[in-house]
Structure 1
Amino acid sequence: MPEKKSAKTNTQKFNSITDQLPDFTHQYFYSGTSGKAILTRISYALDIKYFLEFAVNYYPYFTDKQVKELSIEDIRQIKATDIDDFLTWMDENQHLSERTRARRRSSISGIFEYLINTERKLDYNPVAGSLSVEIPENEYVIYLNIDEQEQLLNCIRYGTGLTQRQLIFHEKYKKRDLAIVFLFLDTGLRISELQALNVNDVIIYEDLIDPEKNECYVLALRKGKKKSGTTSKVYFSDESKEYITEYLDSRKVLGEKFTENTPLFTTNTGDRLSIREIQQMLKKYVAASLKRTDISVHKLRSSFAMEFYKHEKNILVLQQRMGHRSINATNIYARASDREEAVKNSRNWRNNK
């Protein structure tokens, strides 16, 4: 399947990068980052590679060495001011954003901490004494409000705004696409979490005697829990239940038999829908309904977060629903929502005397 091929390609890319790095880094990438997603590990490896390339070109300690030749003894010579030089160089020569520079600084700190605390090969982390990189707070979150969400959903329901060519295939896929997009807007699932769902991950429990006991959720493998393989309950609404049930029923009518590993969302050939295919599907509907290019699947996650917080005003529940390990990640949406509401309420500020 396409996703397996992509995963293999990413693993090859990761191995290609780490092969270019010094021997003392290999155990860090083998075990110290083993619980991270492959794209995250690639990012760490690239950040460290860029730093070490800078080191051999600009630090006087080992200008006669190549990156691959660096040793623990060489790394011990790096001081906090050397890290500052790297951060300044990224700013002045590469013109990188604060976020990118902060991420690279964090990646470098990560391997130093591993060499200090796990392998006991170093005594000092020069990053700790270096200048921090302040990341400017986002003034707003790009998202779809309830009315815009409804425009998008109506495009999927009725084909509003689609071209004649798109309408030819619309009837065939609309139940699937409606179930996917509404589930994103209803739960805040990440695209990788939704794409990996199987039919038997959908749990719909209905108690005819006591409706209060009814439950609808998917068992999703959330970010940060992939290493343990522990799934989390991600609850969805009755409206989501309706769309998912209609979609699955339409597949049953065609004679499909569901097994334990049957993908929840599939192509017309029965293969699991790939992440790219989901992205392209959403792009089509967003262009047709909203004439926008800034709404990605991740922005649907932001749309869920913003509207959920507006209605519930409960940041701890939102944190749980979003699958955030840190409340700081959730606070972004709470601050943006409160700021937006405060600005709107200040419209008649002259009357508040």
Structure 2
Amino acid sequence: MQTNGNDAKYYNEQDRINTLKMREVLSCLPSFCKQYFRGIEPTTSARTRLGYAYDLRVFFEYLHNVNPSLKNIEVKNFKLDVLEMIEREDIEEYLEYLSLYEKQEKETTKERTNTEQGKKRKMSALRSMFSYFYKAELISKNTPELVNMPKLHEHEIIRLEPNEVAILLDQVEAGEKLTKSQLKYHEKTKVRDVALLTLLLGTGIRVSECVGIDIEDIDYDTNGLNIHRKGGYNTIVYFPDEVRQALLDYYEERKTIIPVEGNENAFFLSLQNKRISVRAVEKLVKKYARNVTTLKKITPHKLRSTFGTNLYKESGDIYLVADVLGHKDVNTTRKHYAAQDDENRRRAARMVKLREDIDDNK
């Protein structure tokens, strides 16, 4: 398996795209934001900074719309002292506003909503910006720290049961329950789709890590896969023989495809012979999964949860699951699989009997 500098080519291209998008968003933000984003660059990814920029744009547009003293000033002309104006109540009102607001997009006005997770993310962006300028002693107070982060309610882990996994893969191979238009393309994609879904279910890698795989990243002798993790580092994950066989079946087909220039190294290709996109994988998972279950909304991330749950059930080792899934903090893993711990404790309680049943003594 080669681990040279070419492994991260796809991710470098994604960083380049995100950097260009970032410059576009920055042109709409106050000029002091440029200093902030330069300051956090060494410790954040381009994708994280872009997400913060989008969230901060919502905040500054909100200030522009609701604050009388700022209505006649373009957002990009706001001065740093605008942060000194922000009081605790302003941020609490902003969080309330995020529940439902309107945003002008081209010639239409669209309603936007934020769940607890969305509000927490936007608060994280605010906290990061205020903290940067406060530590740099450019503002005298760090107001967002006075406001509690939105409380996230635990959600049940949505995953496929073992029988549903088997049905899913069988249906991908057979093309059952697909529409006529879907069946037209099925013969061309089924080997690829089986390999892709088997890989996701057999390793728990993220969809972004999956689409970034190059041909030389796979070692069929050791069942090793070199991937570029979300945190920006490369690591090797290992896959079972069932995944190996599915990958080899597709690789034989992949050898016969002439990719579009610039996509020669990509392992998974689209029908256009380009590197398959995250969006395309999301669509194909949805297409197949809705024929297996209509009660669960299955996404690539839910396939990751399916793997994580199965691994934890088999091993009982939360640290192993965290390592394989690429979680930096085991508490992240523990939070997601706490329900399994609870079920284990309930099962243990049912195993212990202090007295025989009354009926047994009659």
TM, length-normalised to structure 2: 0.79
Runs (5+) with no aligned partner, structure 2: 1-9, 102-111, 358-362
How far, CA to CA, are the matches of 2:139 and 2:283 in structure 1? 47
Q: Which moved more, 1:340-349 or 1:295-304?
A: 340-349
Deviations 1:184-221 (A, max 9, x none): 0111111111101001000233xxxxxxxxx3221100
Measured at CA, do residues 328 and 171 of structure 1 come closer, stay the same or move farther in structure 2, by a change above 3 Å?
same
2:226 is matched with: 219
* Sequence identity (%): 27
Measured at CA, do residues 153 and 340 of structure 1 come closer, stay the same or move farther in structure 2, by a change above 3 Å?
farther
Q: Give yes or no for contact 1:187–1:236 (8 Å, CA) kept in 2.
A: yes
How far, CA to CA, are the matches of 2:77 and 2:181 in structure 1? 58
Deviations 1:113-145 (A, max 9, x none): 22233x44234311112233212122x111111
2:145 is matched with: 128
Q: Give yes or no for contact 1:217–1:236 (8 Å, CA) kept in 2.
A: yes
Runs (5+) with no aligned partner, structure 1: 206-214
Q: Give yes or no for contact 1:47–1:107 (8 Å, CA) kept in 2.
A: yes
Deviations 1:7-53 (A, max 9, x none): 87755543332211111111223452476455543331222122223
When the two structures are aligned, how many residues end up with a matched partner? 335
Deviations 1:258-298 (A, max 9, x none): x9952111235542222222222222222334346611111
Q: Give yes or no for contact 1:21–1:68 (8 Å, CA) kept in 2.
A: yes
Q: Give yes or no for contact 1:190–1:298 (8 Å, CA) kept in 2.
A: yes
Deviations 1:131-179 (A, max 9, x none): 33212122x1111111111110111223333345544543432221111
Q: Which moved more, 1:86-95 or 1:321-330?
A: 86-95
Q: Give yes or no for contact 2:213–2:227 (8 Å, CA) kept in 1.
A: yes
How far, CA to CA, are the matches of 2:49 and 2:263 in structure 1? 30
Q: Give yes or no for contact 1:28–1:114 (8 Å, CA) kept in 2.
A: yes
Deviations 1:57-98 (A, max 9, x none): 445765654422221233223333432332344358787432
How far, CA to CA, are the matches of 2:21 and 2:85 in structure 1? 30
Measured at CA, do residues 288 and 131 of structure 1 come closer, stay the same or move farther in structure 2, by a change above 3 Å?
closer
Matched AA of 2:117: R
Q: Give yes or no for contact 2:11–2:212 (8 Å, CA) kept in 1.
A: no
Q: Give yes or no for contact 1:202–1:219 (8 Å, CA) kept in 2.
A: yes
The counterpart of 1:111, out of the listed 129, 132, 155, is 129
Does structure 1 residue 53 correspond to structure 2 residue 61?
A: yes
Does structure 1 residue 194 correspond to structure 2 residue 210?
A: yes
How far, CA to CA, are the matches of 1:176 and 1:276 in structure 2? 16
How far, CA to CA, are the matches of 2:14 and 2:291 in structure 1? 29
Q: Give yes or no for contact 1:48–1:108 (8 Å, CA) kept in 2.
A: yes
How far, CA to CA, are the matches of 1:220 and 1:6 in structure 2? 15
Measured at CA, do residues 219 and 51 of structure 1 come closer, stay the same or move farther in structure 2, by a change above 3 Å?
same
Q: Secondary structure at the match of 1:240?
A: helix
Q: Give yes or no for contact 2:263–2:274 (8 Å, CA) kept in 1.
A: no
Matched AA of 1:187: T
Matched AA of 2:301: H
How far, CA to CA, are the matches of 2:134 and 2:116 in structure 1? 27
Measured at CA, do residues 267 and 102 of structure 1 come closer, stay the same or move farther in structure 2, by a change above 3 Å?
closer
Q: Secondary structure at the match of 1:234?
A: strand
1:99 is matched with: 117
How far, CA to CA, are the matches of 1:304 and 1:274 in structure 2? 22
Q: Give yes or no for contact 2:169–2:194 (8 Å, CA) kept in 1.
A: yes
How far, CA to CA, are the matches of 1:72 and 1:292 in structure 2? 49
Q: Which moved more, 1:169-178 or 1:7-16?
A: 7-16
Q: Give yes or no for contact 1:309–1:333 (8 Å, CA) kept in 2.
A: no
How far, CA to CA, are the matches of 1:57 and 1:274 in structure 2? 37
2:40 is matched with: 32
